[in-house]
């Protein structure tokens, strides 16, 4: 089945130690998104890739970076995680931007704990 896969499901990292979260997709979608979801809150968009074009949200901290080496993979890098970065990180995909009625396909998320 075509899907969005996030690895790992649970990640524990130390305060200040760089961490990378992974997302892959078999849907061949052009657009990939990273959302941060803190406890009992709505998902908040960090950034997205439209093909190779990177689109950062204005309020996304510099501590968060992303890479998309090819269509199938996208990575979220947190350079120096703080306690406030503990959250669920959700990856999502959608077809080319013109299909605005499609909605997204989400992965199962990575729960990040910072100790």
Partner 1 sequence: AQSVTQLGSHVSVSEGALVLLRCNYSSSVPPYLFWYVQYPNQGLQLLLKYTSAATLVKGINGFEAEFKKSETSFHLTKPSAHMSDAAEYFCAVTEITGGGNKLTFGTGTQLKVEL
Interface ranges with partner 1 (CB under 8 A): 4, 6, 9, 30-31, 33, 40-43, 45, 48, 50, 53, 55, 88, 90, 92, 94, 96-97, 99-101, 103-109, 111
* Cβ 49 to partner 1 shortest distance, Å: 8
* Cβ 33 to partner 1 shortest distance, Å: 8
* DSSP assignment of the chain: ---EEEE-SEEEE-TT--EEEEEEESS--SEEEEEEE-TTS--EEEEEEETTEEEE-TT--TTEEEE-SSSSEEEEEESS--GGG-EEEEEEEES-TT-TTS--EE---EEEEE-
Q: Which is nearer to partner 1, 70 or 100 (CB)?
A: 100
């Amino acid at each position: 089945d075509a899907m969005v896969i996030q690895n790992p499901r649970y990640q524990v990292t130390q305060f200040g130690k760089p961490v990378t979260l992974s997302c892959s997709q078999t849907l061949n979608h052009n657009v990939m998104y990273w959302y941060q979801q803190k406890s009992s809150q709505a998902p908040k968009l960090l950034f997205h890739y439209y093909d190779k074009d990177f689109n950062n949200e204005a309020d996304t901290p510099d501590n968060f970076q992303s890479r998309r080496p090819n269509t199938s993979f996208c990575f979220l890098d947190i350079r120096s995680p703080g306690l406030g970065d503990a959250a669920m990180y959700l990856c999502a995909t959608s077809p080319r931007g013109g299909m605005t009625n499609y909605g997204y396909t989400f992965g199962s998320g990575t729960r990040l704990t910072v100790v």
